[in-house]
Structure 1
Amino acid sequence: MSISGYSGVEFDFSPGAQVPLTGSDGETAATQALSSAAYRDGPMTALIDKLTGVSVKAGRLSLFEPDLGEAFSHALEKRMIGGGHKQMVQSFGMDPQTVVEHCLAASRIRKQRDARLTTVMVVCGLLFLPGVLLWLAAFQLRKTVTRKKSQWDGLLGGAVLAVVAGLAALLAWHPPFSGVVALYLRVLLLLPVAGWFIAKQICEKTALDLRNRWSSSLSGPNLGAKIPQAVPRNPTDKRADALRQSLVELAREQASNVVFYAGPKGILGMGPRWGVWQMAEQLVPADGKDFNRFRPWDVARHIHDKLRDLDRSQLHAPGFPRPAVRHWVVRAVGENAGAVTRPTGDIVEGFTVKDYEIQRICNEHGLGSGDRHYVGVQFTLWDGQLIITMMTSVSILANTLRVEVSGYALGPINGAFLAKPSAPTKSVQKSVKFWETRTVKLPLMSTTEVVRLAARAPLTWFPKPLEHLGGSLSLPEPFGLRHAWADKPWQHRFMTDDVTRTATPVLHAVHAATLAVLRDNGVDTTMFSSRAMSLSGAVQSAEPGTPDNYSA
């Protein structure tokens, strides 16, 4: 349900955003894998070794460090819809809005947990602040001395807690003062322990919920990402409406028709260029007189129409899935560019370049600076894990027509996002057969983890001081959810086959459309047909290469 009429703004009062049950183009696997990261636990440093471009800014106190899910969600929200928002690279083969919604849902669950933990800290901590600070100092010292994880470090860390526990027992048994002060000292170090037991129950309940959502995100879109904080409750709810508008803006940016060529990295979001086939011949009239004047856009438009029919076949065979064919504006950026910028002004509506400007770029671009026009056909395969894009450019220099077809491939999402939750375990020696070991299950929430969450809880309402104390996660730039952590498809035999097999029918369609336009306009197609046959033979044995890595 929507209500309009308040300052010309339309408000959406529908229930919280939900993950669609099925993707429109099978774009589910990559979306689910990245969504699951919002619910994960464990140290955030686990991302450094597995994900390219991710860096961790260390904090002042390790006790206030966020876990993986907290750091990932906060970094993604800040980068994509928060104050750190900059223009992003499109995420083909997935829905970035769904991933952000899962991050918001996970953050909401953690905030509800932190609100309860803050209450526990106020009741059991604020009144007995010296005891709480002593316990926190002991745990911080323990985390500091046990970073190397050696046997002696473990003993030393245990000794630190033993000292504080002994002090608590001594004060409870024989406080140095009498009266009300003695009673206060008796419970000074004991009541925080009681608060820890309450906090543990809260943390375990939330951890089970997050792990269920983590597992569900990887198994299938069963649990929706409910974000009621993005639904305005009334026309004056500016915060919720701003969040809703940010999500709408994210969807518009995802639909942009401007992409960026980053040298050897290829087109950001589409992957590196693995193959290129060129047909360039002089335009000669067929009847010896003259041919009709035509523009590059006439050829590009006909190629576009021909590529839309790739999924149709005269044979009873599955063939291609429905292709996504589009006219693209390609803008060159440096290989190590730190940001991307789309065109602005009257030629743009939202983030999309208007049709008349696309035609102008196609017809007038030649040599020199400026954006270029490409006709692209894209296939989303393997549930969004493989993105195959074939881009065609048409240009006329003097009387030479040049049609170039390039292949781009973006592989599956990094395997670090595919791990499912597992119960914490530990190998211990058997009591009788001491030379053998057995595996025992550990509690879902360790003592140190409960202390960390309880210590962080009051500070979660102040993100900047918390980041300063505990550290944060930095994302690679230019940032795009899909291309930032994609592996190469060449490690997978069947994915490699799908990429290379796509080139032949696409090349045939492009050549057929080009020759049809030339014949209709009275151009001699003898040389073009010969060149097309030569390229058709060459593409039969297509294999991945690196055409953007020049040796000169």
Structure 2
Amino acid sequence: MADGFDFSPGAQIPIAGGAGQTAATQALASAAYRDGPMDELLKANSEWTASAIKKPRISLFEPNLGEAFSRAVQTRMLGEGRKPLIQSFGTEPQVIVEHCLAATRIRKLRDVRLTLIMVVFGLLFLPGVLLWLGAFQLRRTIAGAQNKRAGALGTALLGLLAVLGVIFMIKLPFTGFWGVYLRAMLVAPVIGWYWAKLVCERTAQDLRERWSGLLSGGGVGAKIPEAVPQAPGESAAEQLRQSLERLSAEQKSNVVFYAGPKGILGMGTRWGSWQLAEELVPAEPGKDINPFRSWDIMRAVHDQLRLLERTPVNTGGLTAPFVEHWVVSPIGEGADSVSRSAGDEGTFQIRGAELQKICNEQHFGSGDRHYLGVQFVLWDGQLVITLLINVTVLHKTLRIEVTGHALGPIHPVFNGKPKNRTKSFRKGIKFWETWERTLPVVEAREVVRLAARAPLTWYPPLLEYWGGKLVLPEPFGLRHAWADKPWRHRFMADDALRAATPVLRVVHEAALRVLAEHGVNTERFGNRATFLSGAVQDPTPRQADVYNA
């Protein structure tokens, strides 16, 4: 982890991640423990369509938000043969995945108990269970409509079925064993439902406590003992451990992808661009410029950017920046996947001579480009500000470009805390007054849904076939898939705009020093830098990635 401690995924995984990244991580992790319809996730991404939710064939098997989120995330992040991931800046994706695994484990323990209940009260009295499930499915189908009258009709049909069942038991035409069995066939599922309700209620309380604890900033840990191999032969645990390590290594990759108007995936769209482009002229007439490379300028800028947090006055200042050499690879705006190589050591990084070659040679035409980036993670990971510097030399023109990228906070749909179900009643005598009663966390129909799903959870693909699933957008990254725009938050927007000015001036100062040391006339460069120093103070963000022909 970023704070220097190495916690292997064992019995208890602390939520604490890198400094300043807890709020965004906890908000996303809390989704694994949530209840409610999974359609709510569509609100968190404006680019999603209804196709992101694969509709159920039988609505009784439909997953809720937490079940769908946990299954989709852990399959996409840890699945064998999965596509490469986009880095999740401002969050700890491994922690989020660990909470998805922990939530799935809690639900599996509940489903084992529910399956046992279904065997005892369901398999032995199968005709009665099918009759009750059919009634609930009919009510769910009718009540699923927007028309409230249709929902009331479904409830009335369910009540009518219960009345007919009572009459059938009283005036049963059969006697002996079959008479007793047919009566038990209608009563046993009700007893099983009550027992299942206790199991579901206890599990729901546990899940909600973890959900609330994460959003309250508590140290809620993810229990995933199945990720720790206890013996050499435990291949599943070893594979899970390796998948988590691969996820962490991919998160640290310095290769990012530029997707046209979508900007750099994981960093957000480009909201500002400032370019200093002047001719390389010798400082002394008749003398040649001392040879230098783009890497020489980048190295000087890199060293200077690491000192950004220092200030001549003892008031305020920038937080410690993260300075990195990025390799930006272009992909199409509508691309559904990216290509990322693990390299010889499996680090997913480009370093050394290969990085310098990209910086010095690939300035024009096809291929990857080198950028030096300075990144600020603010607001507990809710705001990620990235400023990228690129240096190119074409003929006699040196161009130094600084671009600003901003990734906003996690969508508010992930910040909602659990709410108790309540029902209002009017007082008998003082009818103008009302009182509220807190209802159980799990509704009757929810108990039926969970009990019906439980026997199928041993094979998730079959459950997804009948119940539907959540389809994640591609190319997928946990952070940018559910990020909101930062410009709707006044202080976040101010932070993004303010960070550009000191970075731009430091870049120009370091670059001009290198040019002067190599015998370049810096007068025009200096004049242009002064102009840009004033232009960067324009407080209006723009859509720099959108070119209007």
TM-score tier after normalising by the smaller chain length? over 0.9
1:443-478 deviations in Å (ceiling 9; x for gaps): 211110000000100000011111111110011111
Structure 2: distance between partners of 1:180 and 1:430: 49
Give TM-score scaled by structure 1 length: 0.95
**Partner of residue 24, structure 1:** 18
The answer as to 2:119 corresponding to 1:122 is yes
- Write the distance in 2 (CA, Å) between the matches of 1:511 and 1:49: 42
* Structure 1 residues 129-140: aligned runs within 5 Å: 129-140=126-137
State the alpha-carbon separation in 2 of the partners of residues 336 and 438 from structure 1. Answer: 54
Task: Verify the 8 A CA contact 1:378 1:388 in the aligned structure 2.
Answer: yes
Match of residue 41 from structure 1 = 35
- 1:83 is displaced (CA, Å) by 3.9
Q: CA deviation at 1:14?
A: 7.0
The Cα of 1:15 is off from its aligned counterpart by: 3.0
Q: Deviations over 1:310-353 (max 9, x none)?
A: 0111211230111000000000111121111124666x743111
Residue identity matched to 1:316: N
What does 1:110-259 correspond to in 2, within 5 Å?
110-259=107-256
Determine which of 300, 305, 308 is the counterpart of 1:307: 305
SS in 2 for 1:48: helix
Give the CA deviation at 1:129.
0.2
Q: Offset of 1:258 from its aligned partner?
A: 0.3
The one-letter code sitting in structure 1 at the alignment partner of 2:321 is: P
Query: Mapping of 1:57-136 within 5 angstroms?
Result: 57-83=54-80, 85-136=82-133
Matched with 2:416 is: 419
1:354-369 alignment runs, 5 A limit: 354-369=351-366
Shift of 1:172: 3.0
1:438/1:256 CA distance change after superposition, 3 Å: same
Contact between 1:172 and 1:187, CA under 8 Å: does it hold in 2? no
Q: Are the equivalent residues in 1 in contact too, given 2:121–2:189 (CA < 8 A)?
A: yes
Q: Deviations over 1:96-138 (max 9, x none)?
A: 0000000000000000000000000000110000000000000
**CA distance in structure 1 between the aligned counterparts of 2:223 and 2:343, rounded to whole angstroms:** 36
Alpha-carbon distance in structure 1 between the residues aligned to 2:319 and 2:151: 57
Q: Does 1:459 align with 2:456?
A: yes
Q: For residue 212 of structure 1, what is the amino acid of its counterpart?
A: E
Which residue identity is paired with 2:102? Answer: A
Letter in 2 for 1:504: T
The structure-2 alpha-carbon separation of the partners of 1:491 and 1:394, relative to structure 1 and needing over 3 Å to count, comes to same
- Summarize the alignment of residues 355-434 of structure 1 with structure 2, pairs less than 5 Å apart: 355-432=352-429
Greater Cα shift, 448-457 or 283-292: 283-292
Residue number in structure 1 paired with 2:4: none
Distance 2:432 2:8 in 1: 64
Q: Is the partner of 1:189 in helix, strand or coil?
A: helix
Q: How big is the shift at 1:264?
A: 1.3
Asked if 1 retains the 8 angstrom alpha-carbon contact of 2:227 and 2:238, the reply is yes
Question: Aligned partners of 1:223 and 1:176: how far apart in 2?
Answer: 58
Q: 1:430: how far off?
A: 4.7
Separation of aligned partners in 1, 2:416 and 2:263? 29
What SS does the aligned partner of 1:182 have? helix
Residue 524 of structure 1: CA displacement? 0.9
Moved more, 492-501 or 169-178: 169-178
Deviation at 1:428, TM superposition (A): 4.5
Q: Which residue does 1:297 correspond to in 2?
A: 295
Instruction: Tell me whether 1:482 sits opposite 2:476 in the alignment.
Output: no
Any idea what SS the aligned residue of 1:297 has? helix
2:15–2:222 Cα contact (<8 Å) kept? no
Give the 3 Å change call, closer, same or farther, for CA 236–418 of structure 1 in structure 2: same
Structure 2 residue runs of 5 or longer lacking an equivalent are 1-6
| Runs (5+) with no aligned partner, structure 1 | 1-11
Distance 1:169 1:84, change over 3 A: farther
Equivalents in 2 of 1:464, 1:440: separation in Å?
Answer: 40
Give me the whole-angstrom Cα distance separating, in 2, the residues matched to 1:205 and 1:546. 50
Aligned to 2:457, the other structure's residue is in SS state helix
Q: Is the 8 A contact 1:343 1:353 kept in 2?
A: no
- The corresponding residue for 2:335 is 337
- Tell me if structure 1 keeps the 8 A contact 2:15–2:220: no
Residues 187-223 of structure 1 deviation map (CA, whole Å, 9 limit, x = unaligned): 1110110000100000000000000000001111422
Which residue of 298, 321, 326 maps to 2:324? 326
Q: After the TM superposition, which of the residue ranges 50-59 and 284-293 deviates more from structure 2?
A: 50-59
1:261 is matched with which residue: 254, 258, 261?
258
The DSSP-based 3-state class of the residue aligned with 1:275 is: strand
**Equivalence for 1:8:** none
Which residue number in structure 2 is paired with residue 15 of structure 1?
10
Aligned match of 1:5:
none
- For 1:532 and 1:519, locate their aligned partners in 2 and report how far apart those are by CA, in whole Å: 14
Matching residue's letter, 1:48 = L
Deviation per CA, 1:263-283: give whole Å up to 9, x if none.
Answer: 111111111101111111111
Aligned length: 539
> Are the aligned partners of 2:18 and 2:92 in contact in 1 as well (CA < 8 Å)?
no
| Range that drifts further, 213-222 or 378-387 | 213-222
Could you report, residue by residue, the CA deviation over 1:377-429 in whole angstroms, capped at 9, with x for unpaired residues?
00000000000000000011111111000000011110000000010123455
Cα distance, 1:437 vs structure 2: 5.3
Greater shift in the superposed pair: 217-226 or 372-381 = 217-226
Contact 1:34 1:99 in 2 (8 A): yes
Post-superposition shift, 1:152?
2.6
* Stretch deviating more after TM superposition (335-344 or 404-413): 335-344
Give the conservation status (yes or no) of the 8 Å contact 1:75–1:474: yes
Structure 2 match to 1:500: 497
The one-letter code matched in structure 2 to 1:131 is: G
**One-letter amino acid matched to 2:72:** A
Question: What is the one-letter code of the residue matched to 1:448?
Answer: R
SS in 2 for 1:232: coil
Contact 2:363 2:392 (8 Å CA) reproduced: yes
More moved, 174-183 vs 390-399 = 174-183
CA contact (8 A) 1:311 1:321 kept: yes
TM score, norm. by length of structure 2: 0.95
- Residue aligned with 1:18, SS: coil
Question: Amino acid of the residue matched to residue 389 of structure 2?
Answer: T
Which amino acid counterpart does residue 326 of structure 1 have in structure 2? E
Q: Using a 3 Å threshold, how does the CA distance of structure 1 residues 89 and 305 change in structure 2: closer, same or farther?
A: same
What is the identity, as a one-letter code, of the residue corresponding to 2:26? Q
Alpha-carbon distance in 1 for matches of 2:9, 2:331: 40
Deviates further, 158-167 or 314-323? 158-167
CA–CA distance in structure 1, aligned partners of residues 89 and 260 of structure 2? 19
Structure 1 residues 344, 210: CA separation in 2 closer, same or farther (over 3 Å shift)? closer
Q: 1:179 deviation in Å?
A: 1.1
